[in-house]
Amino acid sequence: MFRERGRDTPFRDAMKSPYAAAQQGRFIDMRHALTAFMAAVSLSSIASAQNAPDSAAQPLTATASMPAQSAIAADVAKDLDGMMALYRDLHASPELSGQEVNTAAKLAKRLKAMKFDVSEKVGGTGVVAVMKNGNGPVLLIRADMDGLPVVEQTGLDFASKVRTKTPEGVETGVMHACGHDTHMTAFIETAKLLVARKDEWKGTLVMILQPAEEVGKGARAMLEDGLYNRFPRPTHAIAFHDAANLEAGTIGYTPGYALANVDSIDIRVRGLGGHGAYPQTTKDPIVLGSRIVTSLQTLVSREQDPQDPAVVTVGSFQAGAKHNIIPDEALLLLTVRSYSDETRAKLIEGIKRISRGEAIAAGVPEDKMPLITVKDEFTPSTYNPPEFAEEMAGVLKGNFADGRVVKTPAAMGGEDFGRFYRADKSIKSFIFWVGGVPADKMAEAKANGAALPSLHSPFWAPQADKVVSTASEAMTVLALDILKKN
């Protein structure tokens, strides 16, 4: 099928990364790829003429009878050079959460040039681009803009060399290690494709560039800054995230809970310090903290329904400064993950109960009970209303070749896109995944069990041309379905 030709689009970025060698075989000139693609499209349009939707052919397309879907794929192929130039530029110049000033300005300019009504500085550095095109649904399309405090080690030609200071004053490199650069690139391409097809849809586009996803603040900041009051209120919302566990060009979708509630919790364990040789004069917060860590394991293993996944991880245990001093305090830093609000509340209550219970068992006085802080940087779980998710998956399966759209299990990661749905549960909301792992790397990992770089890894180098072209096509196809005329 012609859409399969998309798999052969060239991976043009000369890479020194671990993927580079594997990619060299596919390094072909873009014109050759496009020629092959167009030839395939022509053949396919004959083959599939009887199934062709009634939409008009697009300007680029070679045949008047080409289905609208292949016209989108053809436009994406035509735009690939420009998309990759934007991608490389964004990749080389990442900005940390909440500091996406240049990124936002750069992309706002492009949206203005496309005649969107653009508002900047929404919820910090957020951008809202509105296009009204008659009566119909209001579709929110979201991309996030922030990079991470990671020193890039991909070896890509256009790897980030940016260095900056975190808000905590730590000197760091900055990298688009979560692939938000692919999100922004596909977002701009989707905007372009939809503007070019204004006569094929009706309704309102609310395209938003969101800051500070990685710290769980951006979606909330935009909502609090009047996203649903100052701008048309969405009836539908879509987004995608690149995936480090799916083959490049594969689309994953998860009906229902897709990503978890993510809580950060501090436990300040208080004791009574003293000399290490005279423990009887102290209340040792290290021993108490250790008991708390061990007992916390029973929250998931003994109290939680095994069918309702949860995670309680103590990621940091800080206490003491010297061999022979029992400190006054110990500090435990936890990440806590769940799906439902009820389970989240139960886990937080359990952490408080166990901490207090262990302190009582250790004989700590009432005024020195552990202090529990549930941090403000909470990211709520991401929920894809199942009926709508299946509907959207059906649209994607109708567009992409067999096997490219797969149902994937929920994950314990977090993503604040879920806030847009939580703020108004009448919204039909859908986030999906677009794989970025080169096929040969995926096969190699399956064969020998080698670990692939995950999102946030300094080695994460998605096969960006496939991510961006697949995502652009997918977002456009979904948007045209949601905003369809009739």
Residues that bind Zn ion (CB under 5 A): 178
Closest to Zn ion by CB, 148 vs 393, is 148
Q: How far is the CB of 176 from Zn ion (least distance, A)?
A: 9
With both helix axes pointing from N to C terminus, report the angle between 68-92 and 30-47 in degrees, rounded to the nearest 10: 160
Q: How far is the CB of 147 from Zn ion (least distance, A)?
A: 9
Q: How far is the CB of 22 from Zn ion (least distance, A)?
A: 25
What's the angle, vertex CA 416, arms to CA 411 and CA 417, rounded to 5? 90
Closest to Zn ion by CB, 215 vs 401, is 215
Closest to Zn ion by CB, 58 vs 125, is 125
Q: How far is the CB of 301 from Zn ion (least distance, A)?
A: 28
Q: How far is the CB of 95 from Zn ion (least distance, A)?
A: 14
Closest to Zn ion by CB, 231 vs 378, is 378
Closest to Zn ion by CB, 73 vs 239, is 239
Q: How far is the CB of 213 from Zn ion (least distance, A)?
A: 6
Closest by Cα among 195, 187, 100 to 140: 187
Q: Which two tokens stand for residue 17?
A: 């990364």
Closest to Zn ion by CB, 67 vs 436, is 436
Q: How far is the CB of 413 from Zn ion (least distance, A)?
A: 8
132 DSSP β-pair partners? 204
Backbone angles phi, psi at 188, to 5 degrees: -65, -40
Closest to Zn ion by CB, 12 vs 241, is 241
- The three-state DSSP-derived secondary structure of the chain is CHHHHHHHCCCCCCECCCCHHHHHCCCCCHHHHHHHHHHHHHHHHHHCHHHCCCCCCCCCCCCCCCCHHHHHHHHHHHHHHHHHHHHHHHHHCCCECCCCHHHHHHHHHHHHHCCCEEEEEECCCEEEEEEEECCCCEEEEEEECCEECCCCCCCECCCCCCEEECCCCCEEECECCCCHHHHHHHHHHHHHHHHHCHHHECEEEEEEEECCCCCCCHHHHHHHCCCCCCCCCCCEEEEEEEEEEEECCCEEECCEEEECEEEEEEEEEECECEECCCHHHCECHHHHHHHHHHHHHHHHHHHCCCCCCCEEEEEEEEECCCCCEECCEEEEEEEEEECCHHHHHHHHHHHHHHHHHHHHHCCCCHHHCCEEEECCCCECCEEECHHHHHHHHHHHHHHCCCCCEEECCCCCCCCCCHHHHHCCCCCEEEEEEEEEECHHHHHHHHHHCCCCCCCCCCCCCCCHHHHHHHHHHHHHHHHHHHCECC
Q: How far is the CB of 435 from Zn ion (least distance, A)?
A: 14
Closest to Zn ion by CB, 194 vs 431, is 431
Closest to Zn ion by CB, 9 vs 379, is 379
Closest to Zn ion by CB, 143 vs 292, is 143
Q: How far is the CB of 175 from Zn ion (least distance, A)?
A: 11
Q: How far is the CB of 486 from Zn ion (least distance, A)?
A: 36
Q: In this structure, how many other beta carbons lie within 10 angstroms of the beta carbon of residue 394?
A: 12
Closest to Zn ion by CB, 140 vs 243, is 243
Residue with nearest beta carbon to Zn ion = 178
Residue 172 CB burial class (10 angstroms; 0-12, 13-18, ≥19): middle
Closest to Zn ion by CB, 178 vs 354, is 178
Q: How far is the CB of 278 from Zn ion (least distance, A)?
A: 48
Q: How far is the CB of 433 from Zn ion (least distance, A)?
A: 11
